[in-house]
């Protein structure tokens, strides 16, 4: 017992002494030392169990520790671990074929990257190459990755400390944030000012200069801002009208997360390109993908595709993805996301009656977010967008309580995300929501309504 305790401390100390932590001050971090993980649970060195209500970084969609993936990876390693992207492997071809089958209509060819940001970078470059235009329209409440281009395209405040002149010609528009509509409208009676706003920006910027509109298939880490039912179709129509490409960032919303293979399927919209990552391997190995339409692919039949990476189509990552996609099907995980998502909706509706601090809950499949407020009438947030440490005091207490109770959850500003692995059961949902209910009582105490 004592030996394992000191092993835990050693693990944590080595990490704190010799490694850097993302998006944080380095002092005062108290990481969980994960010894093993299985299904929806993480276990630390002391045997404490955490229910993973954020699927890692909303990527471990099939759950942790699936040995089928381990075996597929080992087998690929034994056959061939690496070849240049100019050579081909069975895994790469099988994965490409499978993606063509599940992606919307005309999206049938894929360029593989090592993660989401790289897929976004390549999509931006490709859009500019293909259209000969340079401007990209993207949204403020969006995160597209942490490389320069992807970060510039996003509006997430994590980019602000870097905000010197980043990648040029990226223009931002407002979001269809219906709970806090920027135009003060209600979804039932508005004229989709969120769409006419985009059209005005297109006209101001000159349609002939705009290569693409980039937006998440379904909003993720910016608060699961749900699109009005016809929003994406209207954006698609704008793109068609002005000959602009539509790029759907399905890094977080892809692979069953929203109850469909891709979130754009929910809206009946086929983009010109999909960028994706995360759920493609469910986090077992790093892989990203840029899936393009037949028309775009054909353009490069006679023109050079000026894109490439050492680890493009890494055979072992592709083999992991092939197996992971098979697991989604064998375990009917996409259907389970729908069932469990509906169950969560019902249960959170009950929580909303008990907890005045729940201002809004937005969920699609298993991509959900609670928004905590100090007052339901004024919608004053428990912590504002990009809140500093002081303003985060209550939310940090909520997060600390969740951790203490054994829930691994993603908490940002006044948001608590509910995005468990797609293999979650009803009993496990109940277990997680009970912990959330207990923790947000802390926020209720601050309620001013």
Q: SS3 of 386, please?
A: coil
**Can you tell me which of 212, 252, 325, 422 binds ligand PLP, judged by CB under 6 A?**
252
From the list 56, 104, 145, 223, which residue makes contact with ligand PLP (rule: CB under 6 A)?
Answer: 145
Q: Taking the complex as a whole, how short is the minimal distance between the CB of residue 114 and ligand PLP, in angstroms?
A: 8
**Dihedral of CA 123/124/127/130: which sign?**
negative
C-beta of 313 vs 394, nearer to ligand PLP: 313
- Member of 41, 50, 112, 143 binding ligand PLP (CB under 6 A): 143
Binding segment toward ligand PLP, per CB under 6 A, in 247-255, 382-390, 399-407, 416-424: 247-255
Annotate each residue in 334-373 with x if it binds ligand PLP (CB under 6 A) or - if it does not, as one string. ----------------------------------------
- Joined together, the tokens standing for residue 174 give 């407002």
CB of 231 to ligand PLP, least distance (A): 17
Contact, 390 vs 397, CB < 8 A?
no
Asked if 115 is part of the footprint of ligand PLP (rule: CB under 6 A), the reply reads yes
Range 32-91, binding ligand PLP (CB under 6 A): 57
Contact region with ligand PLP (CB under 6 A), list: 85-93, 245-253, 306-314, 420-428: 245-253
**Rounded Cα gap, residues 228 and 396, in angstroms:** 31
Contacts of residue 318, defined as CB under 8 A and 6 or more positions apart, other chains included, come to: 76, 89, 91, 92, 94, 95, 112, 287
Nearer to ligand PLP, 113 or 414 (CB): 113
The least distance separating ligand PLP from the CB of residue 303, rounded to whole angstroms, comes to 27
Q: How far is CA 363 from CA 53, 258, 270, 328, 416, in A?
A: 14, 8, 22, 21, 12
Q: 150: which residues sit within 8 A by CB, 6+ positions away?
A: 116, 117, 120, 121, 124, 144
* 216 touches ligand PLP (CB under 6 A): yes
In the complex, minimum distance from the CB of residue 95 to ligand PLP, in angstroms, rounded to a whole number: 17
Q: Check binding of 259 to ligand PLP (CB under 6 A).
A: no
Rule CB under 6 A: say whether 411 interacts with ligand PLP.
no
Written as six digits, the tokens of 303 are 């023109």
Q: How many CA atoms lie within 13 A of 176 on its CB side?
A: 23
Q: Name the DSSP class of 84.
A: -
At its nearest, how many Å lie between ligand PLP and the CB of residue 430? 27
Judged by CB, which is closer to ligand PLP: 45, or 112? 112
Give least dist CB 412 to ligand PLP, A: 12
Could you tell me if 363 and 179 are in contact, meaning their C-beta atoms sit under 8 angstroms apart? no
Residue with tokens 């395209």: 153
Site membership for ligand PLP, residue 280 (CB under 6 A): no
Binding flag, residue 124, ligand PLP (CB under 6 A) = no
How many positions of this chain bind ligand PLP (CB under 6 A)? Answer: 15
CB of 82 to ligand PLP, least distance (A): 20
- Shortest Cβ 144–ligand PLP spacing (Å): 5
Counting beta carbons within 10 angstroms of the beta carbon of residue 229, is it exposed (0 to 12), middle (13 to 18) or buried (19 or more)?
exposed
Please give the Cα distance from 273 to 129 (Å, whole number): 14
If you count them, how many residues does the chain have?
Answer: 449
Interface residue with ligand PLP among 117, 289, 337, 358 (CB under 6 A) is: 117
Judged by CB under 6 A, the residue of 104, 116, 254, 356 near ligand PLP is 116
Pairing of strands 245-249, 107-113: unpaired
Of 46-54, 116-124, 129-137, 407-415, which segment contacts ligand PLP by CB under 6 A? 116-124
Closer Cβ to ligand PLP, 276 or 293, answer by number:
276
- Is 220 one of the binding residues for ligand PLP (CB under 6 A)? yes
Q: Among 156, 175, 218, 249, which residue interacts with ligand PLP (rule: CB under 6 A)?
A: 249
Among the listed residues 178, 251, 416, 419, the single contact to ligand PLP using CB under 6 A: 251
List residues bridging with 51 in a β-sheet: 41, 407
Q: Considering only CA atoms, which of 24, 36, 35, 29 is closest in space to residue 13?
A: 29
Binding of ligand PLP by 277 (CB under 6 A): yes
Q: Name the minimum Å distance from CB 249 to ligand PLP.
A: 5
- DSSP code string of 326-349: HHHHHTTHHHHHHHHHHHHHHHHH
- The separation between the first and the last C-alpha atoms of the chain, rounded to the nearest angstrom, is 49
Distance CA 396, CA 384 (A): 13
Angstrom distance (rounded) from CA 104 to CA 233: 14
Q: Which is nearer to ligand PLP, 140 or 300 (CB)?
A: 140
Task: Write out the residues near ligand PLP by the rule CB under 6 A.
Answer: 57, 115-117, 120, 143-145, 216, 220-221, 249, 251-252, 277
């Amino acid at each position: 017992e004592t030996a394992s305790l000191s092993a835990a401390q050693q693990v944590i100390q080595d990490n704190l002494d010799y490694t850097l932590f993302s998006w944080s001050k380095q002092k005062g971090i108290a990481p969980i030392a994960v010894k093993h993980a299985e299904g929806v649970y993480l276990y630390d060195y002391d045997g404490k169990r955490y229910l993973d209500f954020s699927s890692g970084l909303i990527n471990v969609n099939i759950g942790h520790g699936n040995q089928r993936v381990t075996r597929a990876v080992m087998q690929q390693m034994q056959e061939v671990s690496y070849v240049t992207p100019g050579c081909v492997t069975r895994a790469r071809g099988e994965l490409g074929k499978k993606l063509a089958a599940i992606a919307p209509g005309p999206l049938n060819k894929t360029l593989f990257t090592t993660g989401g940001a790289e897929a976004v970078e390549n999509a931006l470059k490709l859009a500019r190459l293909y259209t000969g235009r340079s401007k990209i329209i993207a949204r403020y409440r969006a995160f597209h990755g942490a490389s320069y281009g992807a970060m510039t395209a996003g509006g997430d405040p994590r980019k602000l400390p870097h905000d010197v002149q980043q990648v040029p010609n990226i223009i931002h528009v407002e979001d269809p944030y219906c709970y806090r509509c920027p135009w003060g409208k209600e979804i039932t009676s508005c004229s989709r000012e969120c769409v006419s706003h985009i059209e005005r920006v297109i006209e101001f910027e000159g349609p002939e200069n705009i290569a693409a509109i980039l937006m998440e298939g379904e909003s993720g880490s910016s608060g699961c801002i749900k699109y009005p039912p016809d929003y994406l179709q209207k954006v698609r129509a704008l793109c068609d009208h002005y000959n602009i490409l539509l790029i759907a960032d399905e890094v977080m919303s892809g692979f069953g997360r929203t109850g469909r293979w891709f979130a754009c399927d929910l809206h009946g919209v086929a983009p010109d390109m999909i960028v994706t990552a995360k759920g493609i391997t469910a986090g077992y190995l790093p892989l990203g993908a840029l899936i393009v339409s037949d028309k775009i692919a054909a353009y490069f039949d006679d023109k050079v595709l000026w894109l490439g990476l050492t680890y493009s189509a890494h055979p072992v990552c592709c083999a992991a993805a092939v197996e992971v996609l098979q697991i989604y099907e064998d375990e009917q995980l996409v259907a389970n996301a729908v069932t469990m998502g509906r169950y969560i909706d019902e249960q959170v509706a009950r929580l909303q009656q008990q907890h005045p601090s729940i201002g809004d809950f937005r969920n699609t499949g298993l991509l959900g977010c609670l928004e905590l407020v100090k007052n339901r009438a004024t919608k004053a947030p428990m912590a504002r967008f990009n809140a500093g440490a002081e303003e985060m005091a209550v939310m940090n207490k909520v997060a600390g309580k969740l951790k203490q109770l054994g829930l691994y959850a993603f908490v940002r500003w006044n948001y608590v995300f509910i995005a468990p692995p797609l293999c979650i059961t009803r009993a496990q949902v109940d277990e997680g929501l009970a912990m959330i209910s207990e923790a947000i009582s802390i926020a209720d105490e601050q309620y001013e309504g």
